[in-house]
């Protein structure tokens, strides 16, 4: 088992958002998590990454056999976790290339591998920029500042490829992307996928799943997973919406 979440309960400002959520991901698998707005999708991503705005009351998270629960966000990153943010924050004045190199070298150091100097790192960076069809000038800009929505999302995938984590959580990476950008981003994620890592895609729409094929699809509602299936489940959602599944769940639970 590469990654597992066991009956996780979390709240913000005393409002419960995750209510006993469980999830298991084996190495080599792609899981998609879908659900109506307000179901807790983004909260799940942030809680796994260690955002202290949320209070975890019970449950646990494990990655590569290590418990993440007591770890700070940077320790979880070192443990092999990567979150592609839905709304990547802007940090003006911080050079993109410098930031990427620092993050890369931290990971290298943690894995006992050699750190790269700016010149050598630039070589590595340029290769990935090319793969994602991003302009070389990208490296000179300030971190996410003045980036379009699409550029921010591609910057997230750029980091995914550079940092090569064990588990990648992509939080609505497809929102705001046009068709071409969507294709490039998906190619990036597919090239990252291997039989030693895992991917969790949080998405609202089926179309991303046409490009990145999921092995499992889960429906998140009111802070827990109410139904799981394979890729066909997502296709069915596209046709029928969430209503049937949600109603079935509500009536089952209304009766105690």
Pairing of β 167-171 and β 198-202: parallel
175 and 86 in contact (C-beta within 8 Å)? yes
- Sole residue written with tokens 């990427």: 100
Pick the closer one to other proteins by CB: 129 or 168.
168
Tell me how far, at minimum, the Cβ of 169 lies from other proteins, in Å: 10
Closest CB 213 distance from other proteins, rounded Å: 26
CB 166 → other proteins: shortest distance, Å? 13
- Write down the least CB distance from residue 104 to other proteins, Å: 9
Of 99 and 138, which has the nearer Cβ to other proteins? Answer: 99
Give the tokens for residue 202: 């949080």
Nearest-angstrom CA–CA distance, 27 and 215? 12
Between 164 and 175, whose beta carbon lies closer to other proteins? 164
CB crowding 147-170: b at 16 or more within 10 Å, else e: beebbbbbbbbbbbbbbebbbbbb
At 246, phi and psi to the nearest 5? -65, -45
Q: Which is nearer to other proteins, 104 or 221 (CB)?
A: 104
Minimum distance of other proteins from residue 163's CB (angstroms): 7
Nearer to other proteins, 76 or 222 (CB): 76
Closest CB 77 distance from other proteins, rounded Å = 4
The footprint of other proteins (CB under 8 A) covers 49-53, 72-74, 76-78, 81-83, 85, 88-89, 91-95, 98-99, 102-103, 106-107, 110, 142-143, 159, 163
- What are φ and ψ of residue 38, in 5° steps? 85, 5
Least gap, CB of 176 to other proteins (angstroms): 18
Cα–Cα dist 11/15, whole Å: 5
Nearer CB in complex with other proteins: 108/191: 108
β-pair partners for 168: 82, 199
CA distance 5 to 33: 13
What does the block give as tokens for 250? 């509500």
Nearest to 225 by CA among 11, 10, 20: 20
DSSP state of 152: H
Select 54 or 205, whichever has its Cβ closest to other proteins: 54
């Amino acid at each position: 088992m590469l990654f597992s979440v066991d009956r996780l309960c979390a709240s913000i400002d005393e409002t419960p958002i995750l209510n006993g959520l469980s999830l298991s991901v084996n190495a080599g698998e792609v899981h998609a998590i879908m659900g109506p707005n307000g179901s807790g999708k983004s909260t799940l991503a942030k809680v796994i990454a260690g955002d202290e705005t949320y209070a975890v009351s019970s449950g646990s998270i494990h990655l590569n056999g290590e418990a993440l629960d007591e770890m700070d966000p940077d320790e979880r990153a070192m443990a092999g976790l990567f979150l592609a943010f839905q709304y990547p924050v802007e940090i003006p004045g911080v050079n993109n290339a410098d930031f990427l190199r620092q993050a890369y070298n931290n990971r290298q150091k943690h894995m006992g591998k050699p750190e790269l100097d700016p010149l050598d790192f630039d070589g590595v960076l340029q290769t990935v920029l090319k793969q994602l069809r991003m302009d070389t000038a990208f490296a000179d800009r300030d971190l996410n500042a003045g980036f379009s929505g699409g550029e921010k999302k591609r910057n997230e995938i750029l980091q995914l490829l550079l940092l090569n984590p064990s588990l990648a959580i992509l939080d609505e990476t497809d929102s705001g992307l046009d068709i071409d950008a969507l294709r490039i981003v998906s190619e990036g994620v597919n090239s990252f996928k291997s039989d030693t890592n895992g991917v969790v895609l949080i998405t609202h729409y089926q179309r991303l799943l046409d490009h990145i094929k999921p092995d499992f699809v889960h429906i998140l509602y009111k802070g827990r997973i109410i139904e799981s299936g394979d890729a066909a489940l997502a296709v069915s959602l596209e046709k029928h919406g969430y209503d049937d599944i949600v109603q079935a769940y509500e009536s089952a639970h209304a009766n105690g």
